Structure 1
Amino acid sequence: MDGSPPDGLYQQERRRRLAAERMLDRAKRDLSRAHAALVANADRLSRDYLAERETNLRLTERQAQVLAQRKEAAEKADRARRRLWHALEAMRDGFALFDAQGTMVAANHVYLNLFDCAGVVGPGASAAEMFEIAAEEGSFDTGDQDEGEWADAMTERWHGDQFDPMILRHYDGRIIRLSDRRAPDGDLVSLAVDVTEDEARVDALAAARDTAEATARMKADFLARMSHEIRTPMNGVIGLADMLAEQVTDEEGRLSARTIRDSAEALLTIVNDTLDVSKIEAGKMDLRADRFDLEAMLRDCIRLAQASGRARVPIALSWPLDASAPVIGDEGRVRQIVMNLLGNAMKFTSVGGVTVRVARAPDAVSIAVADTGPGIADAQRDAIFEAFGQAGDAGLSTKEGTGLGLTISRGLAERMGGTLHLSDEAGPGATFLLSLPLRMLEPGPSLPLLPATVALGPGVICDALAESFSAAEVEVLRTTSGPHPLVARAQDVPADAVAPIVLRDGAPVEAALAARARAVLSLPAAAADLAAALAVSDEATRAPGPVFTASGGAARRILLADDNQTNRFLLDRMLAGGALDYTIVEDGAEAVAAQAESRFDAVVLDISMPVLDGIGAAAAIRAAEAEAGLAPVPLLALTAHTGDEMGERLRVAGFAAHLTKPLKKQILLEALEAAWAAQGAPGQPSVTS
């Protein structure tokens, strides 16, 4: 056995060494894993720290921004508060804020100075204390209330929810309007406004208004009196001038009489225009709402304008053949406007003509008055409607008239709810458009069967008829020859025309032409007459004029009373040789006695008479009739007074008609005939013309 260790020990040692190496490797691996985990955890912690630090840095910056914004907002709010307070302090009016319990929160110096006790009344004081102190120191006029009652009433008002403005009179003479309003949260805002100047201005305006109204009344009374005083002598001037013109045989005398009459009528127009302007300005232009025939009124206006002596050109009427004529309105005022427009048109038209065109609607009417004169410059379009403004101011040659016609016409149109203006349409001359709310009372007439084609002669008259026929769907030919029915003025009808419809403009139609004419119609012709003449043969005969006879055939007897000697003379000359039997007395008492002694068929009474005026005489006559059981006779009033208020007085007094001086014979006769016709006496004829 040698010295070497045995194999078994060697193997054991080797196994232990290998085991130790394996343990060392395992420890190295465990240590490596632990080191890697430690490094990973350190990295994670580093990342978390960095992220948290970044977040903290951002939060710090945001917090700084928020703090900066809060500081800026606080500074802005403080500036706004200071500005608001400075604005409140700079206010001329007093301002105060109270909380829901009535404690003053803030007030400017103007509000506090009203109480003259700013040291006591201020923020923290209650409303009750404020009013008690104001009452004790006499800051305000408490009126009939004692100091305590006034303070209690003000405090009680303060605790309400709704506040009416209150006027307080300060001891120094200022007038303060206290306006209070409660906010939704219960706070109350009080505003004290100094209205001293406003109240003084209101008082001054009221005084000026009273002065103006008194002046207007004096003006109206003066104009009414002057109208009466001027009309009375004008009645004699115009009436006697008419008689002289009829009775004087030499041409020079007739010319002188006509000059007197025309001058008197021109003066009367000025009086009427001045009175109308005064009434319109004072708002006392009363209107009537009566039934009247619009077409007949327009035809009357054209006839009057054509006969005035001013017309140098024809005046035509374009009326729809199927339009209804009866309307509701103030006929007199509509007539006045149309006459003013026609007079204005004729004044400036020397060639061509004037045309009146009518357009109808159920509740309105439009009347256009167009002329072929020189027209009106654009710069004068508004001026012509001003008082005393005339188209002559636009550079035209004429300056006649008062310059009030268009002013009155526009005022009347607007008073009736309508308009009057100058048309903007291009064309020769000027066209005035009048629109009025005149209601149609019934449907238009049923037209007879009209011919398909109608021939019309030349001229403005036939131009207007062409519009009417075309609107009725009748073809119009502008010729005087051919087989078609011809409508033309007498001077335009050719010798070979068969059964023409002749339009007569005043001069008599030659017998030969009248014999072969289908119809002879006076201008302006009525639409119904034109339609009937075209549809049927002219078999109508001329109706008789007015008849002034009673049922037994004797002449009617009338009684007239007027205290003015000139007027009595005029009435005597006016009725002399006529169909009426008349008696004239000097005053109302004589009229009552004469009617009682010998009963007349009608009584005409002047209103302004001594002893017994016209209204008193009318009452006495009616009383005598009632006592005797007699039917009332027609009473007619004769007066120089104008105005609807006079008309109403006379209507209530029982007068059948109101005749205005200066009186014309035809107007008197027509009024008498109308009164007798309305009376409906047996055998009484109606008025025809």
Structure 2
Amino acid sequence: MFVERRSEDLAAPGADTRLALDAQTALLPYALAVFAVSLPIYVWAGSFAANAGWLSASFAVFAINWGAFYGVAGWLRTPQAEDIPRRARVHLLSGLLWASAVAQMAAFAEGAGPARETLLLLAAGAAVICIFFSAPYLLALLITAPVAAAAPLVLLFSRPDSHRSGTLAWGAIALAMALSLVLNRMLRRQHALALAHEALLEERLRVVEAAERTARSKSDIVATLSHEIRNGLTGVTHVLAAAAGKGGRAAPSREQLNAALDAAQDLVAVLNATLDSETAESGRLAVDSVAFEPVRLIRDLVLLDRPHAVAKGLELSVHVEADLEHRQAGAAIGDPLRTRQIIANIVGNAVKYTVRGRIEVRVERRGDQIAIEVADTGPGLSIDEMEQAFEAFRRIERTGAGVNGAGLGLSLSRQLARLMGGALEARSAVGVGSCFTLTLPYDEHAACAVDLVGDTPQVTEPAGAPPRNLRILIAEDDALNAAMLRAILEQLGHQVVHAQNGRRALDLARTCDFDLVMLDGRMPILDGPQTAAALRALDGGNRDVAIIAVIGGDADEARDCLDAGADTVLRKPVSVAAVARAVADAATLDRRGLGQAAVA
């Protein structure tokens, strides 16, 4: 907060004025001291005046000015003095007070008889003092100097016998004015250097704070991942050791296998959330903006979470506004994959943290937005706990004990919602429950461009039943990824040939016929786009073979693969449902038509 406020002060148009007023404020005690020292000299000279009784008026004016200046000194220490225009007016009026005192001195001198010329010269000296102490603030100098010098000079030049003294006074005042302008110029240059120096310091503070935030973020990532990876992998290792028969252990039960599978899935979810959070923090997280049908997406997600809710004895229901339920046109605008990620997180949290009661998912229109509310009868959160819940790597100890997670879901979900032009808000009450609301732009005239099934966007035409016994060539340099993809494909009933790089895949495609090719986007020798382009340049049946690019990168990598000849893309980490749908669509739809749909 300090850095941001100081940065705003430096960027403000009145920053140089503030420094000028600070300099003038610093001279205030010296000005009072000079007038205090000059006052006895003036009183001594005034005692020779014919109208010496006027000295009482001079004392009164000086007393008023000193009182006003002490009041100004006290006011400068109040918050109201932060208002630069008001402070500038106060400084200017203070200078005019002393200029009026000089005019009063000149008026007193005019009737002083033999002491007239001496007192007028003293008044001119007082004008020089006013000019000097107004020098830091240019506007005050340009206004106060003529007002202070006018009365002594006019009266000195009003009589022939004081012309010589008037010339001396004029020269002194002109010299004082010139020197004050030089001083003002030097101070302004010093102020510019001070502003640049302060800006440099603020920039360094921002860099240091950014480095500290990055260090804290990395520390939090390491701590979180260490805990989650250790717990997840320990459970999986025990189950695998039992399955391998090591240590004389019995084969794992179905419950143990399910627990190990849940631990592995939780670990993948933590890693994905951590990577997305870091990408968002660095400003490199991109989202699409397309029209999609939100109701079906929500019903699919609720269908996936209902078994978990039923197992805990919870009621999980969906309520859709009637107009949305039966509307033929209209769609939400955003990224369907990221929307699915947000809703899956808040619905999953509701099921995870609610012990008894019910969970309701409500979908309704709110003007030009669509609102998706997830309300539960869970433990609820206080205001402070709700703020912590949306901070990265922060978990609520009261409700999160014994529950897996990295504390990234809500923080990342709010960032994703903002990137899509929406918002994620929440309200909660301890002991009552919580309600999280996702709002996204809604266009009642838009037609849905994509439908979200599994983990990848697909064309809206329904694909036919997935064919069996396809001959599929997979090109993947990572042995573990290749083994997982091969296991999924063989589980789906297909024959699989594995190539470790793009060149080997191209050699196999020249000698064997395949029904489908699945290419990793990043491979040595020939990467995914290069391999896809080379396959399209072949002579023979494999020239038109359907190609699925399996990528782990961003939209640019997907576009490179599609431009090179791939028909569609599948993002890592893959799931059985996503692979089955991608294979079915790639095998049953015409390659050129599918390619056009994928590009769109």
Same fold (TM over 0.5): yes
Q: Deviations over 1:267-321 (max 9, x none)?
A: 2222122222223322332110123221111112112223468952232111124
Partner of 1:670: 581
Matches within 5 A, 1:610-649: 610-622=524-536, 624-625=537-538, 632-639=544-551, 641-649=552-560
Shift of 1:84: 5.2
Contact map agreement 1:97 1:105 (CA 8 A) in 2: no
Shift of 1:643: 4.0
Q: Secondary structure in 1 aligned to 2:433?
A: coil
RMSD: 5.1
Task: Tell me: CA distance 1:380–1:219, structure 2 relative to 1, closer, same or farther (3 Å).
Answer: closer
Partner of 2:298: 298
Cα distance in structure 1, aligned partners of 2:564 and 2:95: 77
Shift of 1:671: 1.3
Shift of 1:438: 3.1
Partner of 1:602: 516
Q: Which amino acid aligns with 2:516?
A: A
Partner of 1:456: none
Cα distance in structure 1, aligned partners of 2:217 and 2:385: 30
Cα distance in structure 2, aligned partners of 1:568 and 1:279: 26
Uncovered stretches (5+) of structure 2, i.e. residues with no partner = 1-53, 66-93, 100-128, 150-169, 244-249, 449-461
Shift of 1:562: 1.1
Cα distance in structure 2, aligned partners of 1:381 and 1:276: 22
Task: Tell me: CA distance 1:403–1:582, structure 2 relative to 1, closer, same or farther (3 Å).
Answer: same
Shift of 1:408: 1.4
Cα distance in structure 1, aligned partners of 2:148 and 2:564: 70
Shift of 1:265: 1.8
1:326 equivalent to 2:323? Answer no
How many residue pairs get matched? 430
Task: Tell me: CA distance 1:621–1:107, structure 2 relative to 1, closer, same or farther (3 Å).
Answer: farther
Shift of 1:356: 0.4
Shift of 1:98: 8.3
Normalising by structure 2, we get a TM-score of 0.58
Q: Which amino acid aligns with 1:327?
A: A
Task: Tell me: CA distance 1:658–1:314, structure 2 relative to 1, closer, same or farther (3 Å).
Answer: farther
**Structure exhibiting the larger radius of gyration computed from Cα positions:** 1
Task: Tell me: CA distance 1:379–1:586, structure 2 relative to 1, closer, same or farther (3 Å).
Answer: closer
Task: Tell me: CA distance 1:420–1:567, structure 2 relative to 1, closer, same or farther (3 Å).
Answer: closer
Contact map agreement 2:464 2:588 (CA 8 A) in 1: no
Shift of 1:433: 1.7
Shift of 1:343: 1.4
Normalising by structure 1, we get a TM-score of 0.51
Q: Secondary structure in 1 aligned to 2:203?
A: helix
Contact map agreement 1:602 1:634 (CA 8 A) in 2: yes
Shift of 1:94: 4.4
Q: Secondary structure in 2 aligned to 1:373?
A: coil
Q: Deviations over 1:38-90 (max 9, x none)?
A: xxxxxxxxxxxxxxxxxxxxxxxxxxxxxx9xx89x95999565645689866
Q: Secondary structure in 2 aligned to 1:438?
A: strand
Matches within 5 A, 1:540-555: 546-548=465-467, 555=469
Partner of 2:317: 316
1:386 equivalent to 2:394? Answer no
Contact map agreement 1:93 1:194 (CA 8 A) in 2: no
Q: Which amino acid aligns with 1:306?
A: R
Shift of 1:563: 1.7
Contact map agreement 1:97 1:106 (CA 8 A) in 2: no
Q: Secondary structure in 1 aligned to 2:252?
A: helix
Q: Secondary structure in 2 aligned to 1:124?
A: helix
Shift of 1:345: 0.6
Task: Tell me: CA distance 1:390–1:595, structure 2 relative to 1, closer, same or farther (3 Å).
Answer: same
Contact map agreement 1:359 1:365 (CA 8 A) in 2: yes
Shift of 1:591: 1.2
Q: Percent identity?
A: 26
Cα distance in structure 2, aligned partners of 1:439 and 1:122: 77
1:195 equivalent to 2:181? Answer no
Contact map agreement 2:466 2:580 (CA 8 A) in 1: no
Q: Secondary structure in 1 aligned to 2:534?
A: helix
Shift of 1:597: 3.1
Contact map agreement 1:352 1:372 (CA 8 A) in 2: yes
Q: Deviations over 1:204-225 (max 9, x none)?
A: 33345567778999999999xx
Contact map agreement 2:277 2:412 (CA 8 A) in 1: yes
Q: Which amino acid aligns with 1:285?
A: L
Cα distance in structure 2, aligned partners of 1:98 and 1:443: 69
1:569 equivalent to 2:566? Answer no
Cα distance in structure 1, aligned partners of 2:382 and 2:499: 57
Cα distance in structure 2, aligned partners of 1:326 and 1:666: 25
Matches within 5 A, 1:37-76: none
Partner of 1:365: 370
Q: Deviations over 1:106-128 (max 9, x none)?
A: 999xxxxxxxxxxx99853699x
Q: Secondary structure in 2 aligned to 1:383?
A: helix
Shift of 1:358: 0.5
Task: Tell me: CA distance 1:122–1:350, structure 2 relative to 1, closer, same or farther (3 Å).
Answer: farther
Shift of 1:604: 0.9
Task: Tell me: CA distance 1:330–1:660, structure 2 relative to 1, closer, same or farther (3 Å).
Answer: same
Q: Which amino acid aligns with 1:271?
A: L
Contact map agreement 1:376 1:394 (CA 8 A) in 2: no
Q: Secondary structure in 1 aligned to 2:517?
A: strand
Cα distance in structure 2, aligned partners of 1:565 and 1:379: 47
Matches within 5 A, 1:226-245: none
Partner of 1:255: 255
Contact map agreement 2:382 2:429 (CA 8 A) in 1: no
1:204 equivalent to 2:201? Answer yes
Task: Tell me: CA distance 1:629–1:617, structure 2 relative to 1, closer, same or farther (3 Å).
Answer: same
Q: Which amino acid aligns with 2:136?
A: D
Partner of 1:413: 417
Task: Tell me: CA distance 1:261–1:584, structure 2 relative to 1, closer, same or farther (3 Å).
Answer: same
Q: Secondary structure in 1 aligned to 2:267?
A: helix
1:348 equivalent to 2:348? Answer no
Shift of 1:253: 3.8
Contact map agreement 1:327 1:441 (CA 8 A) in 2: no
Cα distance in structure 1, aligned partners of 2:135 and 2:208: 33
Partner of 1:507: none
Task: Tell me: CA distance 1:299–1:645, structure 2 relative to 1, closer, same or farther (3 Å).
Answer: same
Cα distance in structure 1, aligned partners of 2:351 and 2:497: 42
Cα distance in structure 2, aligned partners of 1:396 and 1:665: 30
Task: Tell me: CA distance 1:354–1:424, structure 2 relative to 1, closer, same or farther (3 Å).
Answer: closer
Matches within 5 A, 1:131-150: none
Q: Which amino acid aligns with 1:314?
A: E
Cα distance in structure 2, aligned partners of 1:407 and 1:272: 14
Q: Deviations over 1:244-278 (max 9, x none)?
A: 99xxxx98343333333222222222212222222
Shift of 1:331: 0.7
Contact map agreement 1:373 1:428 (CA 8 A) in 2: yes
Q: Deviations over 1:306-353 (max 9, x none)?
A: 346895223211112431463321111111111111111111222222
Shift of 1:636: 2.0
- Name the one with the larger helix percent: 2
Q: Secondary structure in 2 aligned to 1:605?
A: strand
Task: Tell me: CA distance 1:569–1:399, structure 2 relative to 1, closer, same or farther (3 Å).
Answer: closer
Out of 577, 582, 592, the position equivalent to 2:506 is 592
Matches within 5 A, 1:166-565: 176=188, 194-207=191-204, 252-307=252-307, 312=312, 313-323=314-324, 324=327, 326-361=331-366, 363-391=368-396, 393-394=397-398, 398-423=402-427, 428-442=432-446, 546-548=465-467, 555-565=469-479
Task: Tell me: CA distance 1:126–1:658, structure 2 relative to 1, closer, same or farther (3 Å).
Answer: farther
Q: Which range moves more in the overlay, 212-221 or 79-88?
A: 212-221
